[in-house]
């Protein structure tokens, strides 16, 4: 994740983007004490400072396994683990005013919900963060088809059939027929 982050997020202070080892101490301290209170200083790989004053009190911190963000003090802090991301989309906000946002679709268990990261103060940073999150979202997906095993694991099939029979999800006749197919 660290290599992906370094590849996709530039160190660009003019956009509020800071990548380790060049994390501004004051801004990072403010982020960790304001909204990213559950993140250790040594975990932070990158910081997005969304404040116009450069204090770091709003924005996002990125770690190896998650990111934590707060758009402003009136909104709740959000923690998102990268594998929970199922959608990332950059979009314009407030037409004509140049604002940007990154819409996130997050799935946790059986709940899927939407979050938005606000980039109205530094709209150019939105495309970099969206690009990184989009890449992080699909990093663990293996698109190669699974190879067919050379042999059937008869013991695993037998155990599965016995479990299905015990749960009464398989009739006695079907169980016997399938066991015969296994050579039992």
pLDDT band at 98; cut points 50, 70, 90: low
Q: What is the largest CA-CA distance in the chain?
A: 75
Do 168 and 120 reside in the same domain of the chain? no
Tell whether 145 is covered by a domain.
no
DSSP collapsed to 3 states, the chain: CHHHHHHHCCCEHHHCEEECCCCCHHHHHHHHHHCCCCCCHHHCCEEEECCCCCCCCCEEEECCCEEEEECCCCCCCEEEEHHHEEEEEEEEECCCCCEEEEEEEEEECCEEEEEEEECCCCHHHHHHHHHHHHHHHHCCCCCCCCCCCCCCCHHHHHHHHHHHHHCCCCCHHHHHHHHHHCCC
pLDDT tens by residue, 25-73: 999 999 999 999 999 999 999 999 999 899 999 999 999 999 999 999 8
Q: What is the pLDDT of residue 162?
A: 87
pLDDT band at 144; cut points 50, 70, 90: very low
Do 32 and 63 reside in the same domain of the chain? yes
Do 162 and 134 reside in the same domain of the chain? no
Domain span holding position 84: 2-138
Do 65 and 28 reside in the same domain of the chain? yes
What is the number of domains present in the chain?
2
pLDDT band at 146; cut points 50, 70, 90: low
With 50 as the cut, is the pLDDT of residue 81 above it? yes
- The sheet with strand 85-93 has its strands ordered as 85-93, 99-108, 111-118
Q: What is the pLDDT of residue 94?
A: 57
Tell whether 144 is covered by a domain.
no
> What mean pLDDT comes out for the span 165-184?
86
Q: What is the pLDDT of residue 87?
A: 94
């Amino acid at each position: 994740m660290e290599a992906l982050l370094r590849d996709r997020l530039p160190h660009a202070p003019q956009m509020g983007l800071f990548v380790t080892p060049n994390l501004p101490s004051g801004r990072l301290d403010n982020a960790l004490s304001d909204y990213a209170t559950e993140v250790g200083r040594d975990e932070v790989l990158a910081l997005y400072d969304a404040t116009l004053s450069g204090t770091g009190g709003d924005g996002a911190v990125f770690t190896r396994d998650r990111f934590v963000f707060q758009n402003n003090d009136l909104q709740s802090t959000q923690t998102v683990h990268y594998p929970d991301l199922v959608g990332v989309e950059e979009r314009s906000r407030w037409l004509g005013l140049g604002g940007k946002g990154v819409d996130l679709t997050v799935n946790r268990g059986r709940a899927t919900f939407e979050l938005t990261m606000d980039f109205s103060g530094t709209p150019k940073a939105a495309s970099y963060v969206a690009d990184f999150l989009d890449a992080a979202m699909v990093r663990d997906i293996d698109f190669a088809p699974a190879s067919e095993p050379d042999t059937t694991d008869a013991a695993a099939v037998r155990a599965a059939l016995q479990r299905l029979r015990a749960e009464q999800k398989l009739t006695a006749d079907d169980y016997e027929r399938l066991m015969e197919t296994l050579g039992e």
